[in-house]
Structure 1
Amino acid sequence: MPVFDTPITTDSNNLSKILKQGLPVLLLLHEGQRDKPLEDALSKVARKQKGDLLVVKVDVRENPGIHKEYKNIATPAIISFDKKGKVQAEADYVRPNDVRSHAAFLSNGTPLPEAKPKAEPVAISNGNNGAKHSGPIQVSDNTWRNEVLKSKVPVLVDFWAPWCGPCRSIAPYVEQLSKDYAGRIKVVKLDTDRNQVMARRYDIRSIPTFAIFDKGQQVARMSGANPSGIKRMVEQALA
């Protein structure tokens, strides 16, 4: 196999062949996110580790089967394989330091850093049956997977920012929804200024934007402070 000093873009038809080349593989799963720091880190690792490690990229939008194989892990994600093609580690919402850590792990066995806790403590979740209401839950890039994608009930996400007037005007209505539907739907708020990974991933171009997630997938979405439209989305999600 030729020596590659740049990341290899591949697909579901060819990934299995790459995993049989007898080299460790650092696989990046992505959804077309534009992320120059991450791209630079991948390119640097591919260049420095040429001949010893393959850096591979797969767009899961075009290869959903690969994404499903890895349990629809939140992207951008890294799956690390040993030279026999066996999965050794994985990480979601990765940043440049994750690329470097996984490359060192695959190349010389350097232990990976311990994963940081995914969930921020919340006294009482408004999506738990029988739980007392605690209002909308503030989520972040780090807690998104646990609070939204792994939720056992549908989730209404309010993408907002503190400077946004319409966001503030609709906030009391969102608060009321969390009370009215407590135990049936979880209501969360994501500050798009402070959590740009999720804002980019879901292509949030205007705020407020509201979306319904069910079983880890976005099933409905609308922009604007429209109470009747928001309630309609919620009712349809519960139908």
Structure 2
Amino acid sequence: MDDNELEAIREKRMAALKEKMEHQSVAGAVIQIDQLHLNDLLRKHPALVVDFWAEWCGPCRRVGPVIEELAQEFAGKVTFGKCNTDENQQLAMQLDISAIPNIVFFSHGKMVDRVIGAYPKETIREKIIRNFP
């Protein structure tokens, strides 16, 4: 083998390793979502649950840990994200987010359901199961 062939193999392996690491770091983790990247995430993740929240919102602070737990529970099946409405006001208006916490369910890029308010974990879990069988 010459140096060019070795370099091509090395680059291919590095790309595969990088992709594997990116996938592993996202699986079970809640990703941060902003208005610039939502469309890309909707294309990449066919089952996406987004928690719209704000720092000052008390009920949002109760929902946050529930979203984290559900992300672990549904890792590899459903992707979970959080979007700060104060930092992404245009996106919140675009999706008609007028009250928070507001959990929006996207299936294959389309909004299919939402939960407005601080509901218990079991209620949110049931919505996930219903929307992503």
1:1-239 residue pairs with structure 2 within 5 A? 124-125=22-23, 131=24, 133=27, 135-147=29-41, 149-226=42-119, 227-239=121-133
**TM-score scaled to structure 1, two decimals?**
0.44
Aligned-pair CA distance for 1:134: 5.1
Superposition misfits of 4+ residues, deviation over 4 angstroms: none
Cα distance in 2 for residues equivalent to 1:124 and 1:176: 20
Cα distance in 1 for residues equivalent to 2:69 and 2:38: 22
Query: SS of the counterpart of 2:104?
Result: strand
Deviation per CA, 1:120-141: give whole Å up to 9, x if none: xxx745xxxxx35452100101
Q: Which has the higher contact order (CA 8 A, sep 6+)?
A: 2
Cα distance in 2 for residues equivalent to 1:179 and 1:135: 7
Task: Name the count of aligned residue pairs.
Answer: 111
Q: Which residue of 2 aligns with 1:106?
A: none
Counterpart code for 1:140? D
Query: SS of the counterpart of 1:221?
Result: strand
Q: Which residue of 2 aligns with 1:119?
A: none
Aligned-pair CA distance for 1:178: 0.6
Of all paired residues, the percent bearing the same amino acid is: 32
Cα distance in 2 for residues equivalent to 1:231 and 1:156: 11
Cα distance in 1 for residues equivalent to 2:87 and 2:122: 28
Aligned-pair CA distance for 1:230: 1.3
Which structure is higher in helix share? Answer: 2
CA contact (8 A) 1:153 1:184 kept: no
Cα distance in 2 for residues equivalent to 1:218 and 1:168: 24
Cα distance in 1 for residues equivalent to 2:73 and 2:22: 16
Counterpart code for 1:219? V
Q: Which runs of 5+ in 1 are unaligned?
A: 1-122, 126-130
